[in-house]
Structure 1
Amino acid sequence: MLWRAGLTAALVCAIGLLPWLAHTDPALTVLKARSAERTPAPETLRAIRDQLGLGDGPLHLLAQWLGGLLHGDAGRSWVSDTEVLPAVAQALGASLLLMAGAVVVAVLTATAVCARTLRLGARRRLGARGPGGTGSAVLAALPEFLVASVLASVIGVQLEWLPALGWYGPQWMILPALALGLPAGAVLGRMLDDLLPAAFAEPWALAAAARGVPPKSVARQALRRCVPGLLPNLGLFVVGLTGGSVAVEQIFDIPGLGRLTLRASLAQDLPVLQSGTLALVALAALVALLARLGVRRLIGPALRDGALHSLHRPTPPAPRVVSLVYLLLLAAVIAFGLPRDPLALDTTARLQTPSAAHPFGTDALGRDVLARIAHGALTTLGTALAVSAAALLTGVLLGLLPRLSGPLVDTVNAVPPMLAALLVTGIAGSGPWTPALAVAVVAWSPLATHTASLLRQERATLHLTATRALGAGPWYLLRHELLPAVLPPVVRHALLRLPGIALSLAALGFLGLGAQPPSPEWGLLLAENQPYVERAPWAVLAPAAALALLGALAVTAAGGARLPRRRRTPTPPPAKPGPAQPPATPGQPHPARPVALTTPTDTA
């Protein structure tokens, strides 16, 4: 609790110092937010400083805000001069309602992704490894704002099935909930699909199949066995959907907390920004507590008594033919586009359809889309790979120390990505590596949570207890038992997030925190061509297809991620068979036949 309180205080103080860290005049920023046409005369700026108390320094402002907060007063907005708490409470209510709908969509999507594995595993026809298609990876790679734009333009505008703008009732919640829940559900479904085959191979599942237990009951118990490993990541998704859905809230005009926080950060409206961030931190702490209680409710006794079986099972490498096909397609796009000029303008060829001269069409300035995709792949993919590797290493190292990383993950995850980028820019300055540093600051948190969750369950397994009883030390257990069980699924998780990291890097550049137009980064292509999605859908679909192709390549390459096999000492030859076993006496069960069906919790 002290560690969590210290992190929250440090975050609030950093936000309070944001205008001074950014080396900008807060009075000038507030004046532009109030009235962009007003001339910033010295006397006007002086009056704003006197009104807001900026002359007393940031520490005085922070102490004044904290003092008022203890009495239930978060101050007044510097821009609108209204009470902060009612505005933050209203925005939080809208975000929580949207988050609830998105979670329902995410759970249904994850169930659909795992449906085939559940059906085949319950009937003992799963084979050597769980069947995982690339459709979920493509869906997980699509950016939320692109899904929101397609849903709003097609279903809301063209078909007029659902309202696409505003926030007036349950009908207005369906499309934004789909835009947020579909990619999140695809990621959760892939992670769950990675754990299910090992759950169906546990002794209790084998005993259930031998006793003729209905497959639906076995599937429910397998879900119960695997869900505790995903509850912490589900909590991260919940907080991320509440504060990080800025683009979706902008597209559908939803007065949510993420949109309010972003506007306050751009306008340097410190009372609103600090109150909104504090609400997100409190929500993150509450969700983390509920996730821990859920894990304790599902498999708490087994964790306490060390009665679990390991969910780690060595998997054969994924079929290399599919990965090779995706790699060749992506390489072909890059090879055919590199000889073209990505910056050549042709105003007479604006928004042209795909043709022999322009296989992917042209954008609003007449530039070749294929050339921009190919040249943008060099910087986007290289930086994304470097950030993913750094996030993986940091997440694994911090995940091995859950008492240290748990509160840190909750605090970092509560900060919206754009606000984290502004904080990093204010501290480190703007430059070509600023987006990479900003994304790396928050990209490690889901990997650390995944590592800590798997490590906690692996430490409570029967084979680890037996190995420890035989005299194995902590370093031997970590190297030979824990890391081989934890690293492969975490590496697959990191590869699954690679397309999202590539998009986040380019999106920060579009906001002016890194690479600037006319840079051909993929996120910039999506953002620049989004207003023309109805007139020229190819200008958006082409970079989105490249991003989806990257996601498909990442998930197929991750299918066989595993540690190299250790050399084992040769085992002695089997002993000669002894005398035949006497038959069972009447009324006694046969030794080879399972006589009890227990789940991990019942065993504990």
Structure 2
Amino acid sequence: MRAAAGAAKGLAIRNGLVLLWRGALVAVLLCGIGLLPWLSRTDPALTVLKARSAERDPTPEVLQAIRDELGLDAGPLRLLGRWLGRLLLHGDAGTSWVSGAEVLPAFVQGLGASLLLMAGALVVAALTVAAVCARTLWLGARHRLVGRRAGGGAAVLAALPEFLTASVLATVVGVQLGWLPALGWYGPQWMVLPALALGLPTGAVLGRMLDDLLPGAFAEPWALAAAARGVPGRSIARQAVRRTVPGVLPNLGVFVVGLTGGSVAVEQVFDIPGLGRFTLDAAIAQDLPVLQTGTLALILLAATAGGLTRLAARLLLGSALRDGALQSLHRPTPSTPRVLPLVYGGLLLGVIGLGLLHDPLAVDTSARLQAPSLAHPFGTDALGRDVLARVGHGALRTLAVACAVSVAALMVGVLLGLLPRLSSPLVDTVNAVPPVLAGLLAAGIAGSTPWTPALAVAAVAWSPLAAHTSALLRQERATTHLTATRALGAGRWYLLRYELLPAILPPVVRHALLRLPGIALALAALGFLGLGTQPPSPEWGLLLAENQPYAERAPWAVLAPACVLALLGALAVTAAGGVRWPRPWPRGTAHAATRRVPAGIPEDVT
């Protein structure tokens, strides 16, 4: 009785500390948003005046009148406290500093558009997940699973971030072919292209993660026993999906928030009045009441999505987590030579090498917007500059920064993911900050420099990897081999080194490689929106931003860098399939018994 009471008291204390930690993080984020106008290097009154009337002279009298009107002299903390008091006590989010209109009606309209778009994107994502995993499910149900290979199309699709997909869909389907409207938000037809742009990459990444887990589920004893008893393959496949979905659910919560506040680039391309643009425009104009309302909504959405996905994972696994009755879905398998990464890597290096032979800044006004030719294989842009040269020279900086950010995100994500009580509230809070808003915060604190996008993306890119690590850690702790090894006297460091890390690191590294093109495009999206590197630099984000207005007349200027980015994605995704733990399981541990391969099952799926 005393032991049970002590355990319950300890659990209550830990839950209280987690709630306190979560509340402190929300308070810090809100204070950071509230202090944004004062952290930036511009006078908030001057920014509001420019947003209201750019032609009016910023005389000291006019600026002081704006300060008096908005109460800026009272200080940021008093303004933040006043806003929270009105919102919590009266449900009043205040009025916009720029337009003078009530914040809540515009916020509700933007939230409604974003939620509707999110619902459509989730439908597209679910269909994409089913398509990516169809081959593995079909082979597993017929006991002919021989590997973890997805098609090349799935590899490219998994690496296409929303911004790139939106640009290609708007250019090809909306402008060139004219099949669907590409601009505005007036009805169901206008939702198709944005939902595809958001749902296809999301579903492909989730599908690749699920497809990575399914072979381990089909090789578990329950699946082998069910097959031996003649259970239909469809039933086994359904239970395999149920077994593997909990490992992916935390990232689904991350994507749900990204499909609302993080879809600002897609909303910008398709001119959608959603929550992302609502928050971005307020941040640029330093419209504090609007910015705080949008940020608070994103925080609540992130916390709700994270809590629901963790609850769903527990319900799907049932008491197996508590009783330590799971099998490991991740066992070391021999790495086999792969040809596709070499092919994609050779093509990418060839394109970059050819581009480096030419001057990316050479202007030739007589050769403006020329189609691809022998002299200009990727065509020319609006100033007559060679697109291939700009792609090649821009690759050096874009890829170097993307790789550095990816490595940093992987290290931070794994370290924090191994401490789930610390990282779970932090993931929910950081996930509420889209990269664009993080870029504005970084620009406000450190100034707008070429490294601002890297700081902003690095600040949020680790959260999906931490969520994935925590989900895998939770399941590995409940495995039978870990319980047996612990019973033999293994300590924490031994379990971490020989049992947990070999199971967790390979799938998380593969996940990080899947996100490498996404990080490159997140940097590009910030450049597209005017943050970070400025013209005439040939950075890939600027290439897309510069050539987007000419997409109808010269689609090659947009499609050429888009194809190179897709090539990068194919390289990253196919290379991810070869990531394996380099050392075998230690002999003499309880895991050695589980390495015996059942008869008739190929070793590379066990």
* TM-score for both structures, normalised by structure 2: 0.91
1:42 to 31, 55, 60: 60
Question: Retained in 2: the 8 A contact 1:352–1:361?
Answer: yes
Q: Tell me which stretches of 4 or more aligned residues in structure 1 moved more than 6 Å.
A: none
1:124 aligns with 2:143: yes
Question: Retained in 1: the 8 A contact 2:246–2:312?
Answer: yes
Deviates more, 1:348-357 or 1:243-252: 243-252
| Structure 1: 5+ residue stretches without partners | 572-591, 594-604
Deviation at 1:567, TM superposition (A): 7.6
Question: Retained in 2: the 8 A contact 1:315–1:560?
Answer: no
Deviation at 1:160, TM superposition (A): 4.5
Deviation at 1:512, TM superposition (A): 3.9
Question: Retained in 2: the 8 A contact 1:3–1:407?
Answer: yes
1:248 aligns with 2:298: no
1:76 aligns with 2:95: yes
Match of 2:219 in 1: 201
Match of 2:10 in 1: none
Tell me which amino acid in the other structure corresponds to 2:98: V
SS of 2:260 mapped into structure 1: helix
Question: Retained in 2: the 8 A contact 1:240–1:416?
Answer: yes
Q: CA offsets, 1:16-40, max 9 Å, x none?
A: 1101111211111111111222222
Q: CA offsets, 1:56-97, max 9 Å, x none?
A: 211221121122122211111101111112221221121111
1:89 aligns with 2:108: yes
Question: Retained in 1: the 8 A contact 2:168–2:562?
Answer: no
Question: Retained in 2: the 8 A contact 1:162–1:175?
Answer: yes
Deviates more, 1:296-305 or 1:443-452: 296-305
Question: Retained in 2: the 8 A contact 1:510–1:516?
Answer: no
1:392 aligns with 2:410: yes
Deviation at 1:562, TM superposition (A): 1.6
Tell me which amino acid in the other structure corresponds to 1:119: W
Question: Retained in 2: the 8 A contact 1:318–1:557?
Answer: no
Match of 1:229 in 2: 247
1:11 aligns with 2:21: no
Kindly tell me: are residues 164 and 502 of structure 1, through their superposed partners in 2, closer, same or farther at Cα, counting changes over 3 Å? closer
2:39 to 7, 12, 21: 21
Q: CA offsets, 1:306-342, max 9 Å, x none?
A: 1111001223325332111111111111111112100
SS of 1:242 mapped into structure 2: coil
SS of 2:319 mapped into structure 1: helix
1:332 aligns with 2:350: yes
1:105 to 108, 118, 124: 124
Tell me which amino acid in the other structure corresponds to 1:125: R
Q: What is the 5 A alignment of 1:573-588?
A: none
Tell me which amino acid in the other structure corresponds to 2:277: R
Deviation at 1:4, TM superposition (A): 1.0
Match of 2:438 in 1: 420
Q: In 1, distance between residues paired with 2:436 and 2:250?
A: 23
Deviation at 1:219, TM superposition (A): 1.0
2:49 to 11, 31, 35: 31
How many aligned positions are there? 572
1:2 to 7, 20, 26: 20
Tell me which amino acid in the other structure corresponds to 2:500: L
Deviates more, 1:522-531 or 1:543-552: 522-531
Question: Retained in 1: the 8 A contact 2:527–2:542?
Answer: yes
Q: CA offsets, 1:402-442, max 9 Å, x none?
A: 00000101111101211111112222233332221111000
Q: What is the 5 A alignment of 1:303-382?
A: 303-382=321-400
SS of 1:311 mapped into structure 2: coil
Deviates more, 1:289-298 or 1:140-149: 140-149
SS of 1:475 mapped into structure 2: helix
Q: What is the 5 A alignment of 1:561-600?
A: 561-566=579-584, 568=586
Deviation at 1:565, TM superposition (A): 1.3
Identity, in percent, stands at 78
Q: CA offsets, 1:369-404, max 9 Å, x none?
A: 111111111111111111110000000000000000
Q: In 2, distance between residues paired with 1:234 and 1:225?
A: 16
Deviation at 1:568, TM superposition (A): 4.8
Deviates more, 1:309-318 or 1:93-102: 309-318
Q: CA offsets, 1:259-303, max 9 Å, x none?
A: 100000000000000011001101111111111221121002111
Q: What is the 5 A alignment of 1:191-590?
A: 191-566=209-584, 568=586
Tell me which amino acid in the other structure corresponds to 2:493: W
Deviation at 1:158, TM superposition (A): 5.1
Q: In 2, distance between residues paired with 1:5 and 1:353?
A: 56
Deviation at 1:164, TM superposition (A): 3.1
Q: In 2, distance between residues paired with 1:264 and 1:204?
A: 54
Tell me which amino acid in the other structure corresponds to 2:120: G
Q: In 2, distance between residues paired with 1:43 and 1:64?
A: 25
Deviation at 1:253, TM superposition (A): 2.4
Of structures 1 and 2, the larger Rg is shown by 1
1:141 aligns with 2:151: no
Tell me which amino acid in the other structure corresponds to 1:213: V
Question: Retained in 2: the 8 A contact 1:52–1:78?
Answer: yes
Q: In 1, distance between residues paired with 2:242 and 2:166?
A: 32
SS of 2:485 mapped into structure 1: helix
Deviation at 1:558, TM superposition (A): 1.2
Deviation at 1:113, TM superposition (A): 0.6
Q: In 2, distance between residues paired with 1:491 and 1:567?
A: 19
Match of 1:54 in 2: 72
Deviation at 1:566, TM superposition (A): 4.0
Q: In 1, distance between residues paired with 2:87 and 2:489?
A: 55
Q: In 2, distance between residues paired with 1:42 and 1:299?
A: 65
Q: CA RMSD in A?
A: 1.8
Match of 2:5 in 1: none
Kindly tell me: are residues 95 and 350 of structure 1, through their superposed partners in 2, closer, same or farther at Cα, counting changes over 3 Å? same
Match of 2:133 in 1: 114
Q: In 1, distance between residues paired with 2:161 and 2:330?
A: 31
Kindly tell me: are residues 382 and 531 of structure 1, through their superposed partners in 2, closer, same or farther at Cα, counting changes over 3 Å? same
Q: In 1, distance between residues paired with 2:552 and 2:332?
A: 47
Match of 1:602 in 2: none
